[in-house]
Amino acid sequence: MQFANSAKINTADELAKISDQSLVRSKAYVNGKWVGARSGSTFDVIDPGTLEKVGSVADMDASEVRNAIEVATGAFDTWKKTTAKQRSVLLRKWHDLIVSNKDDLARLMTLEGGKPVTEAAGEVLYGASFVEWFGEEAKRVYGDVIPSPVSNSRAVVMKQPVGVVGIITPYNFPNAMITRKVAAALAAGCTVVARPAYETPFSALALCELAERAGIPPGVINVLPCSSENTPAVGYELTTNPLVRKISFTGSTAVGKLLMSQASTTMKKVSLELGGNAPFIVFEDADLTVAAEQLIACKFRNSGQTCVCANRVYVHESVYDEFVGKFVALVKEKLRLGYGLSEGTTFGPMMTERGMSKVEDQLQLAIDAGARVATGGCRPKGLNVSGYYFEPTVLVDVSDDVPMTCEETFGPLCPIYKFGSEEEVLRRANNVSVGLAGYFFSRDIGRIFRVAESMEVGMIGVNTGVISSEAAPFGGVKESGVGREGSRYGIDEYLNIKYMSIAF
């Protein structure tokens, strides 16, 4: 295993290197003000790369979220009456401020989330792209005029904002998950109350600081961090409060089901981007070098902690050994494990001890069932920093009868399975309860359409392992959720359709 620069790291020293310290906020943002919890309670945010404290953040409770919902409801009365052009101008200003503060935002994200700083900078730009996109889409929310069956009437369809939106985001993309949801809501004319992940609240709070500088009015964006202990009650308040008319959540399928059940009590609209178990299929006619290179990006980005990363790699038996050789060599060559802010790091820590334990459990069960470790397979030895580090691991000769086949790993564990025919691999790829993303590699145009149409997923990468874009609809099928984010379809999730019949 290759390690990045081994210079000693101190989290407090790295935090002090953020140029604009006003981006480092530790209080909630409600009604345009920075407020602490009424109880005075805070919770610590830990750097997963050093296990040192980044800072302490206000621990808001359900009653304070209820107050923020009332604030957002009042702000909605004014915000919904702004023109699409006015909202577009403000979102453009927010976008430009995010881009101009990219380096500070990336450093802050690495400190609380662990990902390599170059990867974090990429996320900042990716997150900003949604603000830009939806700022432009605000001006393209079109209605319809429907031909009437009678001569003295007209039928008109208009689209209107749903109201206050409750937003709950995960730790793995602390910038982009906020912007992808908030920008769409604001563009549509909605106001928001957001709860960022307790592991990574600083990125969301920094975005609030920039939104305020952009001139977005008080009460339109409200962000309230809370501890893991307060999370269930805060989530319950967002999902059951009748003033909230929509819930947007990214996270696990189990929690998504719970939130959907709670939201049903007041018949809220919901957007749920939930767990995945992406198949990555390499057919015998694929370009194996391209497939191996793309699998590096698809599997090991953010240390395997993405919902669309390859979870099951299927390789045709006739090219299995050749592909495994190419891929393992690339893993050893390209991935340098280390602290996210250390020079040369391309592979950082995982986010939690719980996540590492799951990887270790799945790994051992696969080995017990006959799988072999081709590279990696343990917590690294010789790294000069404490943290949640686990080597990028490749398993070969994996059986279908192991947990990683049917469960999302959410970590740097890459199992490679053999298959013999197109029909067989499609059956195995679809034999899971979720369907977020899938990937396959082939140069046969007929096969490309057959397989793409047969895979039970919401998004497909053909000859690529990178599919996310602000212009493309993001979402899944089956138990991977409902609704779409990004693209021209994403803004519709925040709009109600109203039909008006006019007689004369």
Is the separation of the CB atoms in 278 and 308 below 8 Å?
A: yes
Q: Which of 190, 226, 307, 414 is flagged as catalytic?
A: 307
Q: Which two tokens stand for residue 42?
A: 């805070």
- Output the CA–CA distances (angstroms, integers) from residue 35 to 26, 58, 225, in the order listed: 9, 8, 11
Which region holds residue 304: left if phi is over 0, alpha if psi is between -120 and 50, else beta? left
Distance CA 21, CA 183 (A): 24
Distance CA 190, CA 247 (A): 12
Q: Which of 64, 123, 137, 273 is flagged as catalytic?
A: 273
Rounded to 5 degrees, φ, ψ at 83 are -80, 160
Which region holds residue 486: left if phi is over 0, alpha if psi is between -120 and 50, else beta? left
DSSP result, 467-495: ---TTS-B--EETTEES-BSHHHHGGGGE
Return the residue matching tokens 């395997």.
Answer: 304
Distance CA 11, CA 50 (A): 7
Is the separation of the CB atoms in 196 and 45 below 8 Å?
A: no
- Output the CA–CA distances (angstroms, integers) from residue 114 to 172, 177, 254, 334, 357, in the order listed: 9, 16, 25, 18, 17
Q: How many CA atoms lie within 13 A of 47 on its CB side?
A: 26
DSSP result, 238-252: HHH-TTEEEEEEES-
User: Does residue 378 carry a catalytic annotation?
Assistant: no
Is the separation of the CB atoms in 253 and 237 below 8 Å?
A: no
Which one-letter amino acid corresponds to residue 416?
I
User: Does residue 226 carry a catalytic annotation?
Assistant: no
Q: Indicate which residues carry an active-site annotation.
A: 273, 307
